[in-house]
Amino acid sequence: MTTAANGTAGPAVRVRFLGDFELTVNGTPVQRWRAGKARGLFQYLVVHRGQMLTRDRLYASLWPGADAAAGSSLKVAAHALRRVLDAHPDRPGDSGIRLVYRDFGYVLHITGLWSDLDRFQELVHTGLRAAAAGDAPLARTRLRAALALYGGEFLRGESADWVVEQREYLRALALRALGALRADAEAREDFVELIEVCRRTLEIDRHHEETYRALMAAHGRRGELACVRRWYELCARRMRDELAVAPEPETQRLLATLLPAAAARAAAPTGSAVTGAAPATVRALRPAARRAGTPAWIPDARTTVLARPVRRARPDNRAAAALARAADQATA
């Protein structure tokens, strides 16, 4: 398929990797590929564009187990790719894409490329650097923009090893960005943004225990103790059923700080007591006005009165004893 320039402003080639794969050349979506392998070859070459990729490396990444010496799969895919994208090495078309064979390998050159993969990584790295430098507003802007681009996992539905490797790297990068935004929301006591950041985090990693602790601490500060218990129970259930592990000691200490009775019930089956200092999340959210030595929970006066043991009055037996003595004297 040959695409002609249509006067569209911006990069001639736009590629989306995060979520469903999309390729647009000069404003025209590329939807039909002459060979299925051509699509995978293009995806790999774009991620490593400008590099000379040997035939052995391409076979190992795209067609593991195939005979690289025969070279038929790679040749067919490269030929189809040139036809689909008008990527002839000597006379590139309006796409600005050139696929060049050089020194037993291939190099992809693209003029005027925009990729959500490149932009996402750039925004996360600049945002994290701004956060480390103490520029919270800039960090917030960059990281929010990065997460707006993260529309799903890298090449959703693909299962090649190189895809999984890249997917896990980008997933970890997204979690770092969310962690920085979560810390910023906690520092500003922005409950609404904190909940949204935690929601996005659990969409990416449903076992991210630090996020459960942040939710428990935030609800605990607002006095929403039922929510504290529900978030802990969801965390414990997912850890137990899906990973066969118990919540981390820090998570259990947080529950003990916020809900002592619930923590005792959670520890009852194993008979182990939860001890230790309150986790850092609770210490950060605890009001500063509390004096040293003051307990985290002060019982209500009415509860204290009702909890006192009832003292029973002793029966007065003095009258009965006097009557007994009088009866003895009368009989004597």
Continuous H helices in the chain: 36-47, 55-62, 72-85, 116-132, 136-149, 161-188, 191-204, 209-221, 225-238, 249-258, 260-267, 280-285, 301-307, 318-331
What pLDDT score does 5 carry?
40
Amino acid at 198: C
pTM of the model: 0.75
Residue position matching structure tokens 């980008």: 170
Residue position matching structure tokens 């619930």: 262
What pLDDT score does 70 carry?
57
CB 95 within 8 A of CB 85: yes
What pLDDT score does 118 carry?
97
Amino acid at 227: C
From residue 319, how far is each of 62, 312, 323, 324 by CA, in Å? Answer: 104, 20, 6, 9
CB 85 within 8 A of CB 97: yes
**The sheet that has 105-110: what strands, in order across it?**
53-54, 105-110, 97-102
Instruction: Provide the token pair at 302.
Output: 């009415």
What pLDDT score does 36 carry?
72
Those residues whose C-beta lies under 8 Å from the C-beta of residue 120, and which sit 6 or more positions away, are: 18, 146, 149, 150, 170, 173
Instruction: Provide the token pair at 257.
Output: 């700080």
What pLDDT score does 7 carry?
45
What pLDDT score does 9 carry?
56
User: What string of pLDDT tens digits covers the 332 residues of the chain?
Assistant: 444 344 445 678 999 999 999 999 989 999 888 667 899 999 999 999 999 999 999 999 999 887 766 567 898 899 899 888 887 665 556 778 899 998 789 999 998 899 999 999 999 999 999 999 999 999 999 999 999 999 999 999 999 999 999 999 999 999 999 999 999 999 999 999 999 999 999 999 999 999 999 999 999 999 999 999 999 999 999 999 999 999 999 999 999 999 986 666 666 654 444 444 455 554 444 444 444 444 443 334 333 333 334 344 444 445 445 444 554 554 44
From residue 218, how far is each of 75, 185, 207, 274 by CA, in Å? Answer: 58, 11, 18, 21
- Beta strands 97-102 and 113-115 are unpaired
Those residues whose C-beta lies under 8 Å from the C-beta of residue 121, and which sit 6 or more positions away, are: 170, 173
- Beta strands 22-25 and 28-29 are antiparallel
| 241 dihedral zone (left: phi>0; alpha: psi -120 to 50; beta) | alpha
Those residues whose C-beta lies under 8 Å from the C-beta of residue 107, and which sit 6 or more positions away, are: 50, 51, 52, 53, 99, 100
The string of DSSP letters for 250-266 reads HHHHHHHHH-HHHHHHH
